[in-house]
Amino acid sequence: MLKSMTGYGKGVFTLNERRFTFEIKSVNHRYLDINIRLPYVLNFLEDKVKKEISKVMARGKVDIYIGFETLAKDDINITLNTSLADAYIGTLSQIVEKYPVKDEISLALVARFPDVVSVEKCVFTEQTKQEVEEGLFGALTIALNGIVEMRSIEGESLCKDISNKLEYINENISIVESHLPYIQEEYSAKLKAKLDDALAGLAYDEARLLTEVALFADKSSVDEEITRLRSHLVQINEIIKSDDSAGRKLDFVVQEMNREINTIGSKSNDIEISKIVIEIKTSIEKIREQIQNIE
């Protein structure tokens, strides 16, 4: 079944006091173009995320946002710069000895000085990296399920609409076929009337008239074009019901349909058929616009 290239999904997953948010949205694009915004501490997972996305998406411009929060004590590393603390305390002690100040040197005071205590977040070991990957992919799975479902629902809607348009095109082709014999009869009648008028009732070669009509019929014949056009309709119906990525195939077949209907329009030289050709071309153009959003 067809899949749209437009969709959105969001997943939130918490594991071992780590919270992961995964948002993904996609729009139509000629190829698969994945752009990821994620905290630098998760950069080691970027390639794995792209590979996972490419398993379920073949085309589309995909934008991903990844959020990460942690309260896990294993992800936080606190260090004390003892040399700097010694220097601060030594300086403060000199101030106390030299000046009549009442305030005492406190632990809180020293700890507030720059770079005495450093807090480094998200220092991952090999073990915690595996846990982080598990948590991120938990959020990714939820988001992917959401966007795949949305793309499938919209794809199903596109499939139904395209099928209706194909049926409408086929009905109009049948009208063209039914009208073709009248074109030859009309041409024969007009040619005979012109000859009668030009020759003022004099006799003329009936065989020559029939030859001219036959030449016209051969020149204006659109049987091959109609056969190919109907073949393209069958192809499209088969493609939209398959599970393969269909967008590029459909784009090619629709181009061929345009070629055939343009040839029919140029050959027919008939007002009624020209009107029907316009209707068919309009439906083909609508299909072409729709398949631009098909994966």
For residue 277, is pLDDT > 70? yes
pLDDT for the residue 199? 47
Measuring CA to CA, how many Å separate 183 from each of 190, 202, 223, 230?
10, 26, 14, 21
What are the tens digits of pLDDT across the range 128-139?
889 999 999 999
- Give the rounded distance of the alpha carbon of 220 from its chain centre: 41
Q: How many CA atoms lie within 13 A of 106 on its CB side?
A: 6
pLDDT for the residue 282? 93
pTM over 0.75: no
For residue 58, is pLDDT > 50? yes
pLDDT band at 205 (very low <50, low <70, confident <90, very high): low
Residue in the block written with tokens 């343009």: 262
Cα–Cα distance between 264 and 179 in angstroms, integer?
A: 13
For residue 28, is pLDDT > 80? yes
Measuring CA to CA, how many Å separate 227 from each of 36, 117, 217, 232, 283?
48, 81, 17, 9, 18
Query: Mean pLDDT over all residues of the chain?
Result: 82
pLDDT band at 206 (very low <50, low <70, confident <90, very high): low
What are the tens digits of pLDDT across the range 63-88?
999 999 887 777 676 777 888 888 88
More reliable by pLDDT, 261 or 77: 261
For residue 195, is pLDDT > 50? no
Cα–Cα distance between 69 and 72 in angstroms, integer?
A: 9
Cα–Cα distance between 67 and 51 in angstroms, integer?
A: 19
Cα–Cα distance between 110 and 105 in angstroms, integer?
A: 8
pLDDT band at 212 (very low <50, low <70, confident <90, very high): low
pLDDT for the residue 239? 86
pLDDT for the residue 218? 47
Name 190's Cβ contacts closer than 8 Å, sequence gap at least 6.
none
Cα–Cα distance between 49 and 38 in angstroms, integer?
A: 11
Radius of gyration, alpha carbons of the chain: 37
CB 20 within 8 A of CB 138: yes
More reliable by pLDDT, 209 or 110: 110
Cα-Cα-Cα-Cα torsion 73, 76, 78, 79, nearest 10 degrees, comes to 130
pLDDT band at 233 (very low <50, low <70, confident <90, very high): very high
For residue 202, is pLDDT > 50? no
